[in-house]
Structure 1
Amino acid sequence: MNKGKFASFILTLGLILNLVAAPMVSASNAGNETAFRAELKAVASKTFKYFQENTDPNTGMTYDEVRITEKGMQEAKRTSPTNIGMYMMSTVSAQQLGLISKTEAVKRLQVTLDTLGKLEKWNGLFYNWYNTDDGSIKKDWGQFISQVDNGWLSAGLIVVGQAYAELRGQTSKLVDNMNYQPLYDPEVGQFRGGYDVAKGKLTDHHYGMFYTEPRVASYIAIGKGDVPKEHWWKLYRTLPKEWDWQAQIPQGSNVLHDGVNVFEGTYEYNGVKFVPSWGGSMFEGLMPGIVLKEKELGTKALGLNNKRHVELQIAYAKEKGYPAWGFSPSATPTGYSEFAATPLGTSGYKDGATVTAHASFLALEYAPEAIRKNIKALKGFNMYSKYGFYDSVNVETGELAKAYLALDQGMIMVSIANYLKDGVIRNYFHSDPIGQKPEELLEREVFAIH
């Protein structure tokens, strides 16, 4: 055979092998995705069991935390507005995933809504801690009105109202009555952290950082008309350059948005530009995306930044030599602490070699293959138990925090529902006028991280 014919033969053979191999690779990928989706649904089933077994049947209020101890299961029978919001969205998620019927979902949520209507409030906003058995304020934990926690309750109510028309009258009334204006400082253009009812005093601090979880309440307050849309631009993308105590001195330039001069600054880690959160944790950055269409609408800003934070959390764990990743505030064996991929924050929390499952699930829509591998790694630490994943593990010592938190269970549930059902919870949220009105704020911005 001459060289020309031989080359032609090799080329033809290569094409044939590629044609044969392509369907095999495609079938393999499809099989992996099918298996992964089944695994996620199994995780959701166990995770929702937490809400089924640890929510007071008379009040519809979920216990803040359950710990597995030598003396058995210890239930923290208190709850917060965030927990209530996460329970409501988890119930909608469970129905969407086929874990419960619509009848059961509505029945459960009706109990919760009836209780919410009776709870003591301040300007329609909810106190930060209630006893789950009777809905009384847990006064030994103070009498605080939290901006961020009320934001998550508002989000849950909006989602429920859009998912079940028969409940919309109740949810709309509660949301309409939640007046965020008294927590807003018009001179600064930012929210105070909250209000201490007993002291009759707003907090001294403001929620100034944009890439943190309070942006959900900011978005909702703008959507309701409680605060002007200029508030969105008054939040710090990075802190001002002259604040030299921060982790890095940001680089960037000023851009005018709705008459507001916005410093579009960035940090850099491993040669990658990003907009930092306060502490560098996953839930600060990605929790808002369970209801806000940041991935879909903020393709040049929040959605892109979310993707960067996922990639950089993975890179940080690799740099540290950890066998798993996912850094976010979580339970510890003796309590609760803040953990993060330290370089990603303005004032970064330590990582403590502590990884929490909810951080992985929040990242599902940005890095599904990496999450699939990380779930396997987490299960290798014996984290997977009765209600899904224990809240955290020290990846250096293998020590588990044998606790389940309503907040973290809720993030896992909603993240799985969004992934398996094409953003269903976000779609419900944005179907409401409150979710629709500020959408252009998500679309217009361009972070300097391209």
Structure 2
Amino acid sequence: MMSTIAAEEAGHISRKQAVDKIQTTLHSLEDMKKWNGLFYNWYNTSDGSLFTDWGEFISTVDNGWLSAGLIVVGQAYPELYDQSNRLVENMDYSKLYTPEVGQMRGGYDVAKGEYTAHHYGALYTEPRVASYIAIGKGDVPKEHWWKMERTMPESWDWQQQTPEGYTTTYDGVEVFEGHYSYNGTKYVPSWGGSMFEALMPSLVLKEKELGQDALGLNNKRHAKLQIEYAKEQGYDAWGMSPAATPEDYSEFAATPLGMEGYKSDGTVTPHATFLALEYAPWEALKNLKQLKRFETFSKYGFYDSVNVETGEVTKAYLALDQGMSMVALSNFMNEGVIRDYFHQSEIGKAPEELLIKEEFSIQ
């Protein structure tokens, strides 16, 4: 939905075409089976019925991104607001929240009647959009934001580094403002160290503008350190993030930037570069030119990945990654237009103080 708006902003399609396409999507969403207003992970594209071969899973992170798209749609096209807003309001995130822990579950299996064993405990990962929206809707309290971990506690010795930092208090909640260091640069890690965990949320959240001492600063550090890491590995291009591979799909990262750290084997993906456009514009433009030398650019844009060590290109297009690239480009070319739409909504506006008041220990 957001890439359709980006396409209209770029002049590729008319406003009427964009509205018509999104209207079709909204009608489909209205008719789909839901759980407490939240959407299942898998439906049959032929008729919108549930696809149950893989289970009946309600994903916190995926519903969060659907909500984000619906919120942006309602602001970009006021004539669609009632429809899109009704869908968002009916999505009850309180059903995925554990008050005793102060965190969101990974999801819920409706068929089994079971929540995932894990919570989304780390702040600096892509599910923070779902958390922000849940707070903005009033489904969960704002203390949830402070209950997520910046790093895991120092005593958790399985993580890649022993974090340094200090404990402070926000809204009556104690927060360990921890950080890692790489080549003398401090940063708050993501779970795996990938670019989309770090920067995908800034497609809609005004982290760059409002979180200048926290998330915005950290986003800039992650872009910088991904570039440094690739250079140290001897890669001819950078941008490590989950992507399609010749075999299937896999997770890739600048390994030191994660608490656990996904692998790095020379595979880079163009969407990671697009996400970094607003934080390292000249380096990103240079990197895109470099990626073209690997013959990664074709009829529909960039292929999903290339291994810069072997030169093997995955000749596939992933809708998720193409969408991220389009939205990132639209924000870059149009002064944050998609973020502006998101923050014009009451849901986007309400938790802004959480972005503003925090200071990471990475100054």
| TM-score in terms of structure 1 length | 0.80
Other-structure match for 1:83 = none
Amino acid at match of 1:401: T
How big is each residue's C-alpha offset from its partner over 1:272-321, in whole Å with a ceiling of 9 and x where there is no partner?
00000000000001000000000000000000000000000000000011
What's the counterpart of residue 43 of structure 2?
A: 130
SS in 2 for 1:139: coil
* Mapped partners of 1:404, 1:196: distance in 2: 29
- What is the CA deviation profile of residues 394-450 of structure 1, one whole-angstrom value per residue up to 9, with x for unaligned ones? 001011111111110110000000000010000000000000000000000001111
Instruction: Give the aligned residue type for 1:210.
Output: L
| 1:162 alignment counterpart | 75
Residue 419 (structure 1) aligned with residue 332 (structure 2): yes
Superimposed CA distance per residue, residues 105-142 of structure 1 (whole angstroms, 9 cap, x where no aligned partner): 00101100000000000000000111222111121121
- Output aligned runs, 1:235-246, within 5 Å: 235-246=148-159
Aligned to 2:17: 104
Counterpart of 2:117 in structure 1 is 204
Q: Does 1:220 align with 2:123?
A: no
Amino acid at match of 1:272: T
Structure 1 distance, partners of 2:214, 2:277, is 19
* 1:241 aligned partner, one-letter code: E
How does 1:290-439 map onto structure 2 within 5 Å? 290-439=203-352
Match of 2:52 in 1: 139
SS across alignment from 1:323: coil
**CA–CA distance in 2 between the matches of 1:132 and 1:121?**
16
Query: Segments of 4+ in structure 1 off by > 4 A?
Result: none
Q: Structure 2 counterpart of 1:187, which letter?
A: E
Match for 2:310: what amino acid?
T
Secondary structure, counterpart of 2:192 in structure 1: coil
Match of 1:292, SS?
coil
Residue 40 of structure 1 corresponds to which residue in structure 2?
none
Length-normalised TM-score, structure 2: 0.99
**Alpha-carbon shift at residue 366 of structure 1 (Å):** 0.7
Of 275, 282, 291, the residue aligned with 2:188 is 275
How far apart, CA to CA, are the structure 2 residues paired with 1:291 and 1:303?
A: 13
Matched AA of 1:118: D
Structure 2 counterpart of 1:180: 93
Q: Residues 146-190 of structure 1: CA distance to partner in whole angstroms, max 9, x if unpaired?
A: 000000000000000000011001001000000000100000000
Q: Tell me the CA shift for residue 352 of structure 1.
A: 1.4
What code does the residue aligned with 1:217 have? A
Instruction: Give deviations 1:213-239, integer Å, cap 9, x for gaps.
Output: 000000000000000000000000000
- CA deviations over 1:18-70 (Å, ceiling 9, x no partner): xxxxxxxxxxxxxxxxxxxxxxxxxxxxxxxxxxxxxxxxxxxxxxxxxxxxx
Q: Distance in 1 between matches of 2:134 and 2:305?
A: 33
The one-letter code matched in structure 2 to 1:357 is P
Aligned AA for 1:437?
A
Opposite residue 145 of structure 2, the aligned amino acid is: W
Give the structure 2 partner of residue 49 of structure 1: none
Cα RMSD after superposing both structures: 0.5
How far apart, in 1, do the equivalents of 2:49 and 2:326 lie?
27
Report the Cα distance in structure 2 between the residues aligned to 1:146 and 1:386, rounded to whole angstroms: 33
Paired position in structure 1 for 2:145: 232
Distance 1:420 1:328 in 2: 23
Shift of 1:195: 0.2
Counterpart mapping for 1:11-160 below 5 A: 88-160=1-73
The secondary structure found in structure 2 opposite 1:404 is: coil
Corresponding pairs, count? 363
Whole-Å separation in 2 of the counterparts to 1:406 and 1:259: 42
The structural deviation recorded for 1:368 is 0.8
> Unpaired segments of 5 or more residues in structure 1?
1-87
Deviations 1:189-227 (A, max 9, x none): 000000001100111100000000000000000000000
Once the two structures are overlaid, the 10-residue window that deviates more, 402-411 or 219-228, is: 402-411
Q: Which amino acid aligns with 1:214?
A: P
Give the stretch that moved more between structures: 184-193 or 125-134. 125-134
Structure 2 residue runs without a partner (length 5+): none
Amino acid at match of 1:259: G
Task: Output the CA distance in 2 between the equivalents of 1:339 and 1:351.
Answer: 5
Which amino acid in 2 is paired with 1:236?
Answer: E
Q: Which residue number corresponds to residue 14 of structure 1?
A: none
Query: 1:200, 1:444 → 2: CA distance?
Result: 39
